[in-house]
A = this chain, B = another copy of it.
Amino acid sequence: MAESADATGSLADDDPSYREAVVDLLAAIAYGEISAFERLAEDAKLAPSLADKVDLATMASGELTKVHALHDRLRALGADPFEAMAPFRDALDEFHRHTAPSDWYESLVKAYVGDGLANDFYREIAAYLDPETRDLVITSMEEGTHAVFVVDRVRAGIADDPRLGGRLALWGRRLMGEALTQAQRVAADRDALTALLAGGVDRPGLDLAALGRMFTRLTERHLARMGELGLDA
């Protein structure tokens, strides 16, 4: 994997379609973080205590502070960050509109599961990037200490009210379903980004079997996260 990625080191300069794919990817991640900030800041209002609110607001701020490095890189690639993000706004806004949490626990599960899923997906893609872009993507994904806070809160909530577990398990499935729906929509629209996964003349890519394995890995990690929260997925 490291070998194939190193071979693409200067592709952003030499290969217009690779550059286009990288611009798409960084822009999608950046807008994803902006919209995550908005949702988390909004969901923080549902917090049952000021301490919980501060924890969720800290997650929100963490998302936003990573946007600026992505924008800088987009500018270095000659792209306008806001133009580059425009094609991804509908899909991400739709995702959030269809998954507005109805209570504090749903917002916690969404923050944990949604963030985890996005991070897993971008980490999978990172393997097909030149080292510099890959480092930037991995840095953008770094998780803070918030995971522990979410797991503690959700497990405590289920211990208090076992019916909550059933509702949140359904919620987790719905989050996964909506994420896949919107990801397919983006894939259908953005040829360069899709081609990044499929590979090119100079770049190794995924055949259908490998793509299938990738989705299996993403699903398994999703199930593992649900398990950490104490939920049947």
Contacts and interface: CB of A to CB of B under 8 A. Distances in A.
A167 B60 CA distance: 33
A133 interface: no
Given A38-B44, A44-B38, A82-B51, A60 B58 contact: no
Complex copy number for this chain = 2
Contact of A54 (B41, B45, B67): B67
A73 interface: no
A64 B57 contact: yes
A108 to B, nearest CB: 18
A89 B53 CA distance: 14
Nearest to A64: B61
A68 interface: yes
A64 B41 CA distance: 11
A228 B89 CA distance: 35
Interface in A36-56: 37-38, 41-42, 44-45, 49-51, 53-54
Interface string A58-77: 10110011011000000000
Interface residues of A, number: 23
A168 interface: no
Contacts of A129: none
Nearest to A63: B61
A57 B38 contact: yes
Contact of A34 (B49, B54, B85): B54
Contacts of A58: 64-65, 67-68
The 5 closest A-B pairs by CB, nearest first: A41-B41, A61-B61, A61-B64, A57-B64, A51-B82
